[in-house]
Copies of this chain bind each other. A is one copy, B any other.
Amino acid sequence: MERLIFTAPLAGLISLTFAAFFAKSILKEDAGNKRMKEIAEAIKEGSTAYMKRQYRTIAVVSVIISLLILFLLDEGLKMAAGFLAGAISSAAAGYIGMSISVRANVRTASAASGGAGKALKIAFRGGAVTGLAVIGLALLGTSSLYILYGDADLVVGFGFGASLISLFARAGGGIFTKAADVGADLVGKIEAGIPEDDPRNPAVIADNVGDNVGDCAGMGADLFETYVVTSLAAMLLGSLIIGTYKNAVLYPLMLGSAAIFASIISVFFVKVEKEGKVMSALYRGVGGSTVLSLIAFYYITGFLMGDSRFFYVTVAGVVITVLMVIVTEYYTSKSCRPVKTIAASSETGAATNIISGLSAGFESTLVPAVVIAAGILVSYFIVGGSADPGTGLYGIAIASVAMLSTAGMIVALDSYGPITDNAGGIAQMANLPAQVRKVTDELDSVGNTTKAVTKGYAIGSTALGALALFADYRNKVSLESQSISLDSPVVLSGILLGAVLPFLFSAVMMSAVGKAAFEVVNEVRRQFREIPGIMEGTAKPEYGRCVDIVTKAALHDMAMPGFLAVIIPLLTGFFLGPEALAGLLTGLIVVGFMLALMMDNGGGAWDNAKKLIEDGYYGGKGSEAHRAAVVGDTVGDPFKDTAGPALNSLIKVVNMVAILFSPLIIGGGFL
């Protein structure tokens, strides 16, 4: 039984091998004509340059933090080494995601001339490379470090490294992609009246770079972190009940290994036999990995835990995933009420479009909150309940680990979106025949849905995972402190401080996007004014200037949120004590969950309301309603692609800070 643990790093390595294998098969494909290669090269250069500068900035921060860990904590060396390993692995996950995307995009565009089938295969396998690399690295890192250190508590440094880098990647990438996107749209589509991805727009390369560094790299780092941190939470809670369930630490790692094999097999399920069935092909992949995982979970549970109740908990986790996906689809799909209402209200102008979009976003928090509340109650009471709260909390953690069973596929789906988006952009810029663009548009429209759906998944798994982390924190400080009761004004003020963090953080993110987009607009206006011949297509715009502007803005503006995420929990712990910090974590998790839902779903709904009008409803493209819907879509961009996703990382970073530094915080507080 002891040796079984080596399955986990082995599964991680196998996953990485398959990722490499798929990557190689993609690189063999045709990269298109000279013009396409040129464009793809420009996107690749911009992306690589940004990623390098982003990681250089992060490296400085990481070294400082690892020194702090080294000197402040017991076992500082192991913790600091773990932190650096986590940071480097997260960076690697992001870098791999970006690298494959900037190569798959042009090959997808090239294959699209032969129809949807092959283009889908390339785009999806490009996503699968990122997916398998992310979960492979995550399981490899977590399990190796656990084998090496022999103590789950010492793996916390690894988790902290992963989540801190993911916060930076989400914040920086999110600001980059949306500042470029909003800037390009405002001046190109609205002012100059040129289509999206038009090569005459000086911000067009920055916009395409943004897809890769924001969505692909950012999502990669984010899900890497979710995977690591969630498994870790289960291992930590498992180590407390090892007296009753001796494999409680091993169990989550084995569930993760099984899910990896299920994901690898399911990649082969995704192919289009008939035209126009792209979405069902993709769902076949997700469904396949879910079913295969559940079968494996059944046997693993029997073998390791000898208690079928844990299997029901994994089923609960899978059910939560399914429900989160359904809710997200409902709120963001063109065929359901919310998007239709927003589109209809665009007929009376931008103001009513915004009001109904915000209202839909607000409303969309209801079902997920009930689902997560029910999920934690069910998981807790199935295996433990008040008679055995320790096992109950472990049950919550196992449900969130079960949610990860689809993580590989989810990352694949999410990375698929920007690849097809880029492919469309390249087709447009390279003046490929309209029929090519039609194929990439078909693939891309599905990409919008998958992106929205994966966000719903990410939020749900974050909420559940964070509650498990909170239980870990609670255990770490409970030894020397009193009960964390809602009676206490100290706890209540902690909750208030925690609740304000997501609002503050979103404000910073959104105003960063607003400011940088404003600069992009001015630069584009300047180029239109000062470089004659751009609009006629006789002169080439200076694409690099716009890339530069958003790069600087992203690097500059990601620093403060990252700093706040580390320093605020520490200050709260030191000055107000561990109870206040517990309150802060609670407020942060709950409010962060709500705001992330509201922003992601609201943003997705606005996006698709615009698309519904473009499909010819409510006046169609070019109507007043369409102009109003473009406003909503532009507001939704930083909601769904900057602030919303970054909140997930924020929630986990702050929890990891609390857990990591809990030894210093115990006994803190001057009250």
Interface residues, chain A, CB within 8 Å of chain B? 182, 186, 190, 341, 345, 348-352, 354-356, 358-360, 362-363, 365-366, 369-370, 372-374, 376-377, 380-381, 385-386, 389, 392-393, 396, 467, 470-471, 474, 483-497, 499-500, 503-504, 506-508, 510-511, 513-514, 517-518, 521, 582-583, 586-587, 590-591, 593-594, 598, 630-631, 634-635, 638, 671
B503 contacts A474, CB within 8 Å?
no
**Cβ of B474 and Cβ of A487 under 8 Å apart?**
yes
Contact between chains at B372 and A671 (CB < 8 Å)? no
**B376 and A489 form a contact (CB under 8 A):** yes
Q: Which residues of B contact A487 (CB under 8 A)?
A: 389, 471, 474, 483-484
Chain B neighbourhood of A594, CB < 8 A: 499-500, 503, 591
Most B CB within 10 A of own CB, among A348, A377, A510, A594: A348
Cα distance, A583 to B528, chains bound together (Å)? 57
CB distance from A350 to the nearest CB of B (A): 5
The 9 sampled A-B contact pairs (Cβ below 8 Å) are: A345-B518, A350-B350, A351-B634, A366-B504, A374-B493, A377-B671, A467-B492, A486-B583, A503-B598
Name the contact of A635 in the complex, choosing from B348, B355, B634 (C-beta under 8 A): B355
Q: Is the CB of A363 within 8 A of B635?
A: no
Q: Is the CB of B351 within 8 A of A510?
A: no
Q: Contact between A363 and B503 (Cβ–Cβ < 8 Å)?
A: yes
* Contact B484–A486 (Cβ < 8 Å): yes
Q: Are B474 and A373 in contact (CB under 8 A)?
A: no
- A514 with B582: CB separation less than 8 A: no
Chain B residues with CB below 8 A from A489, complex form: 376-377, 380, 392-393, 396, 467
Residue of B341, B381, B385, B631 near A631 (CB, 8 A) is B631
**Contact partner of A506 among B362, B380, B590, CB < 8 A?**
B362
Question: At the interface, is chain A mostly helix, strand, loop or mixed?
Answer: helix
Query: Are B590 and A497 within 8 A (Cβ)?
Result: no
Asked if A182 and B359 make an inter-chain contact with CB atoms under 8 angstroms apart, the answer reads no
Q: Which residues of B contact A506 (CB under 8 A)?
A: 359, 362
CA distance A355 to B514 in the complex (A): 7
Copies of this chain, how many?
A: 2
Give the distance in Å from the alpha carbon of A561 to the alpha carbon of B389 in the complex: 36
Shortest Cβ distance from residue A393 to the other chain B in the assembled complex, whole angstroms:
8
Distance in Å from the Cβ of A64 to the closest Cβ of chain B?
A: 26
Complex CA distance for A183 and B271, rounded to whole angstroms: 51
**Contact A348 B582, CB 8 Å, known A377-B490, A485-B485, A638-B355:** no
Partner of A369 from the list B190, B356, B386, B497 (CB cut-off 8 Å) is B497
A634 to B353, CA, bound (A): 11
Assess whether A354 is in contact with B635, with CB atoms less than 8 Å apart. Answer: yes
A504 touches B365 (CB 8 A): yes
A483, A491, A499, A671: residue with the most chain B Cβ atoms closer than 10 Å: A499
Give A510's nearest chain B residue, CB to CB: B359
Q: How far is the CB of A360 from chain B (nearest CB, A)?
A: 7
A518 touches B377 (CB 8 A): no
Q: Contacts of A631 on B, CB cut-off 8 Å?
A: 349-351, 354, 631
Q: CA A566 – CA B491 in complex, angstroms?
A: 27
| Contact assessment for A586 and B486 in the assembled complex, using a CB-CB cutoff below 8 Å | yes
> Do B363 and A507 have beta carbons less than 8 Å apart?
yes
Q: Is the CB of B590 within 8 A of A496?
A: yes
Return the chain B residue nearest A463 by Cβ: B496
User: Measured between C-beta atoms, what is the minimum distance from A477 to chain B in Å?
Assistant: 11
6 closest A-B pairs by CB? A373-B493, A351-B634, A362-B507, A363-B507, A369-B500, A359-B510
User: Are A365 and B518 in contact, with the CB atoms below 8 A?
Assistant: no
Cα–Cα distance between A600 and B467 once the two chains are bound (Å)? 31
A231 to B374, CA, bound (A): 37
- Chain B neighbourhood of A496, CB < 8 A: 369, 372-373, 590, 593
Distance to closest chain B CB from A351 (angstroms): 4
Complex Cα–Cα for A492 and B474 (A):
13
Q: How far is the CB of A461 from chain B (nearest CB, A)?
A: 15
A372: which B residues are within 8 A, CB to CB?
A: 493, 496
Interface centre among A190, A359, A504 (most CB of B within 10 A): A359
Chain B residues, Cβ within 8 Å of A583: 486
In the bound complex, CA of A488 to CA of B485 (Å): 10
Give chain B nearest CB distance to A189 CB in angstroms: 11
Given that A376-B492, A496-B372, A671-B377 are known contacts, is A365 also in contact with B484, CB under 8 Å in the complex?
Answer: no
Q: Distance in Å from the Cβ of A511 to the closest Cβ of chain B?
A: 4
Among B365, B377, B499, the residue within 8 A (CB) of A500 is B365
Contact A510 B362 (CB under 8 A): yes
**Residues of B contacting A359 with CB < 8 Å?**
506-507, 510-511, 514
Write the nearest CB–CB distance from A231 to chain B, whole angstroms.
Answer: 20
Cβ contacts under 8 Å, A521 to chain B: 348
4 more A-B contacts (CB under 8 A) besides A360-B507, A373-B492? Answer: A355-B635, A356-B511, A483-B487, A495-B590
B contact residues around A348 at 8 Å (CB): 186, 517-518, 521
Closest to A638 in B: B355
Complex: chain B residue closest to A518, CB-CB = B348
What is the CA–CA distance of A341 and B354 in the complex, to the nearest angstrom? 20
A37–B381 Cα distance when bound, in Å, is 68
Question: In whole angstroms, what is the CA distance A298 to B500 when docked?
Answer: 35
Which B residue's beta carbon lies closest to that of A384? B489
Complex CA gap A282/B244 in Å reads: 70
The closest CB in chain B to the CB of A371 belongs to: B496
- Known contacts A348-B518, A351-B635, A489-B377; decide if A499 and B591 are in contact (CB<8 Å): yes
- B residues less than 8 Å from A504 (CB atoms): 362-363, 365-366
Per the bound structure, the CA–CA distance linking A510 and B638 in Å amounts to 22
Contact A385 B355 (CB under 8 A): no
Can you name the residue of chain B whose Cβ is closest to the Cβ of A499?
A: B590
A396 CB contacts on chain B under 8 angstroms: 489
**A396: nearest chain-B partner, CB-CB:** B489
